[in-house]
Structures are given as structure tokens and as C-alpha cells.
Amino acid sequence: MKLTIEPRLSSSWRLAVFIPLFSLAAALFSGGVFLYFMGVSPFQAYRAILTASLGDAYGLSETVVKAIPLTMTGIAVMLSFTMLIWNIGAEGQIFVGAIAATAVVRFFYTDSRPVMLIMMFLAAGAAGGIWAAIAGFMRAKWSVNEIITTLMLNYIAMNLLNYFVFGPWRDPSSLGFPMTPPFPDTARLPVFWGTRIHGGLILAIILPLLFWLVLKFTRWGYEIRVMGENPRAAGFAGMNYLRNVVLVMFISGAIAGIAGMCELSGLQGRLQHGFSGGYGFTAIIVAWLARLHPFAIVLVSFLMGILLVGGETLQIVMRLPLSSIMVLQGMILFFVLGGEFFRKYRIRSVKDDDAVPLQAAPSGEEK
């Protein structure tokens, strides 16, 4: 009795949904084991996570608050990943967008709220877009690996932020904490229903819908999909791969930058050190878990929000640091990667001296 691995001919949608769920379950199980070793009861921990995030209206709203930037950045990342461009720099693009928005508040203040917000929006988008397009251009023109360049730009953006909040933009009344003075009301996005859910919610709903439409029904969306699946065939069909690399990176960075602006303008009200809790990286997990489908990104962002809100609770209640969430995220990715295997291949047992053919060879088959 031997086992062989062979690729699956077709994969049903059942597999596509069931396997990631199963992987998630396996990940949570191992996470439970991990928690146990940390001296925490997994059941208590998971229950605490769920009650904190879904148990009451406040928790739910906080989960949504976390899901908003994740969705937006997830869409940003999804766009570039669809073209097989690995934009790992979403974190830096968020930072740069936030910096640009803060600069607008600081230097171009007006009394009109809509004007203020629009300017911040545009500045954040442009800044994030350019930040990403730099890496895109280098990849397009000289085949410079975009994973490394976007990552390096992350670190540079982080330092840029530090420069501003520790230095010239620091709030003099903040007792030395690295943050800017709070934004005036005209620079703030509206909040809803007495919670902290802010105007970014609108974008978090529109963007997935928009890009689902674009990818599925427009010419440009078709081009992106072809370029991601087979760049050579794309070139052969006359598509301009190089120009699209830069364009897609720009848009991707712009969305991430705007996500940064929303975090500032809607939630935190000022620019401060470490304002983005690693959303840029979490978004990569979200996009990948969602298999690059816009609607799934919304769902996965929400689930991730649950994890993050729960994580904060665990930190307070059970004194588990936030880095444990990172460990859990890594484990989830491992299991999902493993699960992918079962989606693409299947294991068959082969018996030795059995010469029963499955079917006659069809005509025209190679070799």
C-alpha cells in the first residue's frame, strides 16, 4: 500500500470554504494549547475574547472600529496581491498617509469641515500612493524585489513619523509624550450612534463593493486578473504590465494612506507614536485568509477585529501581552497554509499489482 500525492483536477466551492474554516479551527485549538502553557485556561480566554467583542453593544462597536482600517487596508493589499505584487509596505503607507493628513491640518487649516476633510483625504491618498508607487516603479523598471523595498520603506516611514512626533510636531502640553496636539473638530470625521465608529465605516463598505465590481466587470479589472495569473500572456495580449504595476501600487498605497487618515481623523484625533497597531501587517493576513475576495475580506476583518478586541481584554484581565496575538496570528497563517495543501492536492493510496485502468486514455492527451 503506497501513498501518492496528485494534484486535484477541480476544486469545489465546498472545499474552498470548508478547508479555511477547518484550518482556523485547528489554529484556535493549538492556540488554546499555547494559552494553556502560558498558564491561562483556554476556555476562559476564548470566552473572554468573545464576550468582550460580541457580548454587548460597546464590544461590538469596538470590533467594528478595529475592522474598519483592516478592511480598507485589506482591500489595498488584495489589489496588489491579485497582480502578484507583494506589497508588504501597507504599514508604511498608512503612516505616510497619516503624516500627510496631519500636515494638512497643521498648515492648511480651514474652518470648513467638508473642505478640511477632503483635503486630508486627498493628501493621505497621494502620500500613500506615492510611497507605494516608488517601490512599484523600481519593480517595473529594474525588477527590484518589491518585498524588500516596501519593507524598507516601512521602516523609513516609521522613523519619519518618529521624527515628527518627537520633534517639531510634538504637543508642548503633552508632557513629553510623542504625539501632536489634538485635531480641531473640523478635522474630525463624524462618529455614529454614540460609539467610536467613525466615518471611515462608509469607506469600509464602499471600497470592497467598488473593487469587487471593478475586478469582475471592468476591462481594467480583467487586465489585472490576467496580469496576476500569467504576466506573459498579458504582454502577449498587449497589456502594459509595467504601467499597471505602478498604477496598482499607487492605488494600493493610496487606499492604505486613506485608512491611516481615517484612523487619525475618526478615531484617535491626533498623530502619535505607534498609532497603527500593526494594521498593515494584519491586513496581509486578512487578505490572504480571504483568498483575495473583497467580500470575504470584510468578513475576515470582522473576525480579526474580534481577535484584536479580545486580545486587549486578555491583556487587561489576564495580563497576556499583545504580542501573544501576533503569535496566534502566525499560527493561524501556518494552519491555513497547511490547509491549502489539501485544497490543491489529494492523497491516494495505490495498490501494487493492480492493473485495472480507470478509463481509456482520451484522444489527444499528451504523453
Partner 1 sequence: MTLSLFRRHRPERRNNMEIIIPILTAAVRSGTPILYATLGEIITEKAGILNLGLEGIMLVGAYTGFSVAYSSGSAWLGVGAAFLVGTLMGLIHAFICVTLKGNQVVSGLAITMFGTGASSLLGREFVGFTIPGLSRIPLPVLSDIPVIGPVFFNHDALIYSSYILVLFFCWFFTSTRPGLNLRAVGDNPRAADAMGISVTGTRYFYTLLGAGIVAVGGAYMSLAYTKMWGELMTAGRGWIAVALVIFAIWNPARAAFGAYLFGGVEAFQLRLQTAGTTIPTPVLMMLPYLMTIGVLLFISIKKGKGILFGAPASLGAPFFREERD
Partner 2 sequence: MNTEQPLVHMEGITKRFAGVTANFGINFEVRRGEVHALLGENGAGKSTLMNILYGLYRPDGGKIFISGKEISFSSPGDARKAGIGMVHQHFMLIQSQTVWENMILGLDGLPLVLPRREIRERILGISEQYGLQVDPDAYIWQLSIGEQQRVAILQMLFRQANILILDEPTAVLTPQECEHLFETVRQMTAEGHGIVFISHKLDEVMGLSSRVTILRRGKLAGTLDTSSTTKERLAELMVGKKMVFSIDKKELARGRPVLECSSLHALGDRGFPAVSGASISVHEHEILGIAGVAGNGQQELCEAMVGLRKAESGSVRVKGEDMTNRAPKDFIDRGVHYIPADRKGTGLVPNMKVSENSILKRYWKRPVSKGFFIKWNEVAAFAIKLVSQFSVSTPSVETPVRNLSGGNLQKLMLGRELSDDPAVVLAVHPTWGLDVAATCFVREQLLFHRERGGAVLLVSEDLDELISMSDRLAVMCKGEIMGVLERPADVPVESIGLMMAGTAISEKTFGGEGSQE
CB 185 within 8 A of CB 178: no
Total residues binding partner 2 (CB under 8 A): 39
- Tell the smallest beta-carbon distance from residue 348 to partner 2 (Å): 10
Under rule CB under 8 A, which residues in 252-281 are in contact with partner 1?
Answer: 281
d(CA 278, CA 88): 12
Nearer to partner 1, 266 or 339 (CB): 339
Strand partners, 198: 191
The one of partner 1, partner 2, none whose footprint includes residue 361, by CB under 5 to 8 A per kind, is partner 2
Nearer to partner 2, 102 or 244 (CB): 244
3-state secondary structure of 2: strand
Nearer to partner 2, 172 or 367 (CB): 367
Quick note: the x/- pattern for partner 2 over 313-352, rule CB under 8 A, is: -------------------------------------x-x
d(CA 82, CA 100): 27
Strand partners, 348: 4
Interior/surface letters 197-211, b for 16+ CB within 10 angstroms, e for the rest: bbbbbebbeebbeeb
| Placement of cell 502577449 in the chain | 236
Total residues binding partner 1 (CB under 8 A): 49
Chain-centre distance for alpha carbon 302: 12
Q: Is the dihedral of CA 287, 291, 292, 294 positive or negative?
A: negative
Query: CB-based contacts of 1: which residues, under 8 Å, 6+ apart?
Result: 349, 350, 351
Nearer to partner 1, 55 or 330 (CB): 330
Quick note: the x/- pattern for partner 2 over 202-241, rule CB under 8 A, is: ---------------xxxx-xx-xx--xx-xx-xxxx-x-
Using the rule CB under 8 A, give the single segment among 3-11, 257-265, 292-300, 302-310 that binds partner 1: 3-11
Under rule CB under 8 A, which residues in 275-334 are in contact with partner 1?
Answer: 281, 284-285, 288, 321, 323-331, 333-334
Contacting residues toward partner 2, per CB under 8 A:
2, 6-10, 217-220, 222-223, 225-226, 229-230, 232-233, 235-238, 240, 350, 352-355, 357-367
